[in-house]
Amino acid sequence: PERDEGNAVVLERRTQRVQPPHMFQVVMLNDDYTPMEFVVFVIQDFFGKDLETATQIMLKIHLDGRGVCGVYSKDVAATKVDQVLEAAHKAGHPLKCISEPIE
């Protein structure tokens, strides 16, 4: 650092702290048509859950309307959403999921 740096620079360094990365949850939404087995498959395949956990998440979505499948950085969450929507579209199911910031 320069010895003659201005007060503004010093103040900025004191007040601008490094923030932890903002995390995003991928939320899957219920619908009336997507087969339960397909949802369980997707949750296992794209979110790394085992069969029992994936089944619990699917049933939670089915009953509550939505459920969190995983928490990731913004980029990774967006990629997960794209992968799920593409797989659902290819299979002809209306399954939807979204990414949203936590807290």
In contact, 85 and 27? CB cutoff 8 Å: no
Is residue 60 within the footprint of ligand TYC (CB under 6 A)?
Answer: no
HSE-CB of 51 using CA atoms within 13 angstroms: 1
Integer-rounded Cα Rg, in Å, for the chain is 20
Which stretch, 10-18, 45-53, 54-62, 74-82, contacts ligand TYC (CB under 6 A)? Answer: 54-62
List 73's β-bridge partners, or say none.
23
Is residue 84 within the footprint of ligand TYC (CB under 6 A)?
Answer: no
Which stretch, 14-22, 24-32, 44-52, 79-87, contacts ligand TYC (CB under 6 A)? Answer: 24-32
Is residue 34 within the footprint of ligand TYC (CB under 6 A)?
Answer: yes
